[in-house]
Amino acid sequence: MSTPAPPVVPAVPRALRQLRPGPRPGRSVVHRADVSSLEWAGLLRDGLITPVWGGAARVAACTEDPAVRVAALAALVPERGVIGRATAVWVHVGGPSPARADVLVRTRARRPDPHPDRRTHEAELSDADVLTIDGVRVTTVLRTALDVARWLPPAQSLPLLRALRDVGLDTGRAARAAASLHGGRGVRRARHVLAQVADERTTAGGGRAPGGAQARIAGSSAPRDPVIR
């Protein structure tokens, strides 16, 4: 009597092999460019990955958090760049993903080459304005709030500021930081919208957010007042 043939085990897709622990254990994001169209479609169909932003998706078993969102954007952020403005709000808070990534570079620094998925802005940034998540730099919650209030119209900035407030932005501190700015484009608008958001928090009886809340959001050190010129 012949010995039955062993069962045939389906080959593991290359995309899944790449997600196994390796030099960087716990990989949570896979990029569409790294797999074939068929593999990508199969991973989506089987519920093994969930889209995060553009051509990046998180492994279904991983919770979406700031580190996952940063990993989805990392390829668009040059070494000298910092994720900022509305995109930094998304990194800290989550929610609907931005259509394009806002990347800040220091004033007079060389800008990265144009990319359809990236907007580049010049900014004066101090070390206190920036935190690092898995090797990618992002503006702190406080600096993000100041930039959003300064550079976006109120119809866009107010919902973003309220979202930051809900995850720990000290709105009173942000309003005081805006009040200390002297001149410059958008400063008056920033003062107005930040004062409005701070007043909303006071009226609701919530008081000021506890100090250091932004450090808990994205793993930053104790926050300090930003430098904006």
* Structure confidence by residue, pLDDT tens digits, 64-113: 999 999 999 999 999 999 999 999 999 999 999 999 999 999 888 888 89
pLDDT of residue 16: 55
Task: Please give the mean pLDDT across all residues of the chain.
Answer: 83
Both 60 and 84 in one domain: the answer is no
Distance of alpha carbon 181 from alpha carbon 157, whole angstroms: 18
- pLDDT for 23: 26
Specify the pLDDT at position 212: 37
Same domain, 91 and 165: yes
Residue 193 lies in a domain: yes
| Percent of the chain at pLDDT exceeding 90 | 66
Joined tokens for residue 204: 């609701």
Indicate if 42 and 85 belong to the same structural domain: no
Beta strands in 124-215 (DSSP E): 130-133, 136-139
- Please check whether residues 38 and 126 belong to one and the same domain: no
Show the tokens assigned to 100: 């394009």
Structural domain boundaries, residue 36: 28-64
Same domain, 58 and 43: yes
| CA proximity to 88, closest of 31, 144, 129 | 144
pLDDT digits (tens, 9 = 90+) for 21-31: 322 345 799 99
Q: Evaluate whether residue 226 is within a structural domain.
A: no
Q: Is the dihedral of CA 111, 217, 86, 162 positive or negative?
A: negative
Tell me how many domains the chain contains. Answer: 2
Q: How confident is the model at residue 1 (pLDDT cuts 50, 70, 90)?
A: low
pTM: 0.78
19: pLDDT strictly greater than 90? no
Residue partners of 191: CB distance under 8 A and separation at least 6: 175, 178, 179, 181
**52 and 160: one domain?**
no
Beta bridge partners of 120: 103
- CA-CA distance, 19 to 150, in Å (whole number)? 40
Inter-CA distances, 9 with 3, 5, 30, Å: 18, 12, 24
Q: Is the pLDDT of residue 139 over 50?
A: yes
**Same domain for 57 and 127?**
no
Decide if 195 is inside a domain.
Answer: yes
Claim to verify: residue 193 and residue 170 sit in the same structural domain:
yes
Q: How many CB atoms lie within 10 A of CB 51?
A: 13
